[in-house]
Amino acid sequence: MQGRGTSSVSDLATFLILQHNSTVELVDRLVAAGLVARAPDPNDGRRVLLALTDLGEKRLANLSQAHLDELDQIGPELRLLLARIKRDAPGGDDSALQMRLFWSGFLGHFVLHPAPTPKP
């Protein structure tokens, strides 16, 4: 694991916005799948460092490419939707933030939902 990017379980939990015990369970599954390796921190024996294995690196590269391909495919539609949000928003300016854009699932289906109307 020397020379590779490493992270502690606590750092990963913070990044993923998960509880520490949930992150440990996730890491256990990743280790069992051969995607992540654990090693003691040479500077602090109480900490465990995590790093992607070669298989994990390959899997991540494949997933990243799939996501980039998906973004390339939906990019034109997304740009049109964002332009429509800005055009239809009151004032036609940054108040477009009053609209929320949700991405449902991993299929690239974008759904526009108007922001809740403030009550008087």
Task: Please give the Cα distance from 23 to 50 (Å, whole number).
Answer: 12
Each residue of 57-89: pLDDT tens digit? 999 999 999 988 888 888 888 888 888 877 776
Phi, psi of 8 (to 5 degrees): -85, 165
Phi, psi of 119 (to 5 degrees): -85, 140
Cα–Cα distance for residue pair 52/62, rounded to 1 Å: 14
- Put simply, whether the predicted model's pTM sits higher than 0.85 gets the answer no
Residue ranges per structural domain of the chain: 7-52, 72-114
User: Which CATH architecture is the domain 7-52 placed in?
Assistant: Orthogonal Bundle (1.10)
Distance in angstroms (rounded) separating the CA atoms of residues 78 and 112: 11
